[in-house]
Structures are given as structure tokens and as C-alpha cells.
């Protein structure tokens, strides 16, 4: 029997946090075998009062923690530090776990003796939000979701390696593994409105370098709620840029060559994009933003540090 500590990191999202907590409470999993740890990363809204009500009334153990240092890496590490159980599961405050989420993780762990395992992330638009014309593009949806099923041949559970990865908001790690290898590096990951090289992919790569098997469980699914404020072209370009930075940094960590193309090639692509119109031009700008991030990161002397402005 496996026991889980579910860590939910949050900051100023009381309007979404309740649904995330409720989805974990509704698991088809024995309630005595998991706890919920909500890490408040410096919220200024109604987060504390909301969590206090769950602490007092929820049918499962709910723990409130406060982490003042801004950044999801600090918040996740704080949750892992106070976790009481042998497996630490991470869920974000803008996500909802399927009822069989923990059961799917347990089944995969039992079958494969997994110590680092993640699941599928389905991006779902916030209720009453109208999708922009470019939302249907698979690459754009992929910035908010994760689905490796086509690549692993339709298997429900498979061992994976880079460039396949686990998303930090839908992953489980053995607590002993986090103690041995280390948690999320705190100079990586987003802090407030600032983005940096992804801390979850960095952890995946470090585990891979240490020879730790990493697994993907397709049935351990969550829905990632994409809010309207993240559907602006400016936000997507910024997210695509940092995706490019992260991908290049992962290649560098693994000691593999990056293939960024050159500045001349990027400039020619930008000039071609200027001739496009409408959503086609917008999509081209997103891909150029990704390429710019990849190109820059691949040329940094210390590409794995993430210590960027």
C-alpha cells in the first residue's frame, strides 16, 4: 500500500484553488492513505481563509503551510519538506485531478517500481472563455499540456527520457529520492510575473543523469485550467521564448549539442513572418519567440545555470 502527500502550491488564486483541493478530496483512493499540503506562496487574497476551512472540515488531512520566498520552486520544496508520506505528489492550484489520479499513480508504481513518475496534462480553457483562433494549434496547446501517448506507442505506462519529460504540476516522486538527489533548484522556475528556465525539466534531467528511471503514466490525468489572461499573444510569445530557453538548457545539461540555427536564419524567418496576416502571422511570431529563446540559451557560456535576468 502506497501513501501520498499531495502538495498544492498557490499564490493569489483562491478562485481556482478550491476546485484543485476538491478534486483531490474526491479521489477514489483510501482517505487515510493521503494528505493534502497547501503551500501558500505569499498570497494577498482569500487563500488563507479558504484553506483554513478545509483544514477544519475536510474528510482528509489538509495542512496549511506558508512560504514567503516567491517562486514555485521554494513552494514545492517547502511542501516536500513537511510531507509525511513515502511519495510526494505535486499539483498546481490551476489544475483539477481526475478521480482515479492517485490510483493510477499507485498502479504504475506497483507495476514498475517507479520512484519518479508523471502523468497526462489536458489543457482546458477557463469557463466562459472564448478561444483565440490559434488555440487549436497543437504546439500552442502543448505549452499548457502534456501527452506522450503517441510517442510511447499507446502504452499506459512507459519509461521515458529527454526530450520527453514530466510536468511539475502532475508528478510523483519518492520522498527518499528527493532527499538523495535534491528537490527543485530555487533559482529556476517562475517567480511572480517573471519566468525562468523550467525547474521541473531541470529536475528530470538531473535524475536522468543520475541514472534514475523516469516513468510516464497516461491514466494519471489532470486538467490544466487555462485562464483568459494567459491567452494573449504577448503571454504566449513570452511562454514560447522560455520554452526555447528550457529546451536548450536541458540539452546542455545532458552534454548534447544544440541545433539552434543561426541569427541570419532567424532574421529571414522574421522577415517572412512580416508578410503573413492574421492568425498565421501570430503563430509564426510564437515559433520565432521559441527559436529566439533556444538560440540565446545555446550561446550562453553557462547555459544550465538559469541565472538570467
Cell, residue 276? 503573413
- Looking at the fold, whether 67 and 107 belong to one and the same domain comes out as yes
User: Last residue of some domain: 205, 231, 257?
Assistant: 231
73: pLDDT strictly greater than 90 = yes
For residues 9 and 155, membership in a common domain is answered with yes
Average pLDDT (240-255) is: 91
Any idea what DSSP says for residue 126? P
pTM of model > 0.85: yes
226 and 276 in a single domain? The answer is no
What pLDDT shows up at residue 194? 67
Indicate whether 305 pLDDT > 90.
Answer: no
Report the C-alpha gap between 49 and 64 in whole angstroms: 10
| 298 and 182 together in one domain | no
pLDDT at 204: 92
- Cell matching residue 266: 532567424
Average of pLDDT values for 287-302? 85
Sequence-separated (6 or more) residues with CB below 8 Å from residue 267:
none
Question: What pLDDT is recorded for position 304?
Answer: 43
Highest mean pLDDT among 38-52, 124-138, 264-278, 287-301: 38-52
Where does the pLDDT of residue 157 fall: very low under 50, low under 70, confident under 90, or very high at 90 and above? very high
217 and 139 in one domain?
yes
Same domain, 207 and 153: yes
Q: Where does a domain end: 199, 231, 263?
A: 231
Predicted confidence (pLDDT) at residue 63 exceeds the cutoff of 80:
yes
Predicted confidence at residue 277, as pLDDT, reads 87
Claim to verify: residue 199 and residue 238 sit in the same structural domain: no
Cβ contact 74:39 at 8 Å: no
Per-residue pLDDT tens digits for 39-55? 999 999 999 999 999 99
Are 196 and 300 members of one domain?
A: no
Write down the pLDDT at residue 269. Answer: 81
* pLDDT of the residue at 272: 83
pLDDT at residue number 220:
98
Q: Share the mean pLDDT of the chain.
A: 91
Structural domains of the chain, count: 2
Cα 304 to Cα 197: distance, rounded to the nearest angstrom: 9
Confidence of residue 309 (pLDDT cuts 50, 70, 90): very low
More confident residue, 26 or 308: 26
Q: How far apart are the first and last CA of the chain?
A: 45
| 83 has a pLDDT exceeding 70 | yes
- The SS3 call for residue 42 is coil
In a shared domain, residues 213 and 266: no
Note whether 167 and 214 are same-domain residues.
yes
Residue 114, pLDDT score: 96
Question: Which residue range forms the structural domain that includes residue 100?
Answer: 4-231
Residue 124 shares a structural domain with residue 216:
yes
Which three three-digit cell numbers place residue 109? 508504481
Q: Last residue of some domain: 177, 199, 231?
A: 231
Q: What is the CATH number of the domain that holds 75?
A: 3.90.550.10
- Residue 237 three-state SS: helix
Whether residue 54 is found in the same domain as residue 185: yes
Amino acid at each position: 500500500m502506497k501513501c501520498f502527500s499531495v502538495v498544492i502550491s498557490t499564490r493569489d488564486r483562491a478562485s481556482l484553488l478550491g476546485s484543485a483541493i476538491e478534486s483531490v478530496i474526491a479521489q477514489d483512493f483510501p482517505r487515510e492513505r493521503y494528505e493534502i499540503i497547501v503551500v501558500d506562496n505569499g498570497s494577498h487574497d482569500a487563500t488563507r481563509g479558504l484553506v483554513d476551512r478545509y483544514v477544519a472540515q475536510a474528510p482528509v488531512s489538509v495542512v496549511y503551510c506558508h512560504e514567503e520566498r516567491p517562486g514555485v520552486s521554494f513552494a514545492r520544496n517547502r511542501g516536500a519538506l513537511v510531507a509525511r508520506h513515502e511519495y510526494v505528489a505535486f499539483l498546481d492550484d490551476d489544475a483539477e485531478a481526475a478521480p482515479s489520479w492517485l490510483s493510477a499513480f499507485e498502479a504504475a508504481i506497483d507495476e514498475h517500481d517507479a520512484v519518479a513518475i508523471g502523468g497526462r496534462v489536458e489543457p482546458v480553457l477557463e469557463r466562459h472563455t472564448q478561444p483565440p483562433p490559434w488555440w487549436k494549434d497543437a504546439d500552442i496547446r502543448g505549452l499548457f499540456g502534456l501527452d506522450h501517448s503517441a510517442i510511447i506507442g499507446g502504452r499506459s505506462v512507459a519509461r521515458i527520457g529527454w526530450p520527453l519529460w514530466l510536468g511539475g504540476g502532475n508528478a510523483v516522486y519518492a520522498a527518499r529520492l528527493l532527499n538523495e538527489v535534491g528537490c527543485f533548484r530555487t533559482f529556476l522556475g517562475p517567480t511572480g510575473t517573471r519566468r525562468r528556465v523550467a525547474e521541473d525539466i531541470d529536475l528530470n534531467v538531473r535524475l536522468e543523469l543520475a541514472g534514475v528511471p523516469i516513468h510516464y503514466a497516461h491514466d494519471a490525468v489532470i486538467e490544466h485550467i487555462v485562464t483568459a489572461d494567459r491567452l494573449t499573444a504577448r503571454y504566449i510569445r513570452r511562454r514560447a521564448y522560455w520554452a526555447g530557453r528550457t529546451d536548450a538548457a536541458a540539452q546542455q545539461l545532458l552534454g548534447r549539442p544544440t541545433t539552434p540555427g543561426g541569427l541570419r536564419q532567424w532574421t529571414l524567418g522574421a522577415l517572412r513572418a512580416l508578410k503573413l496576416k492574421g492568425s498565421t502571422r501570430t503563430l509564426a511570431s510564437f515559433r520565432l519567440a521559441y527559436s529566439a529563446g533556444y538560440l540565446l540559451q545555446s550561446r550562453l557560456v553557462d547555459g544550465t545555470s538559469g541565472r538570467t535576468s
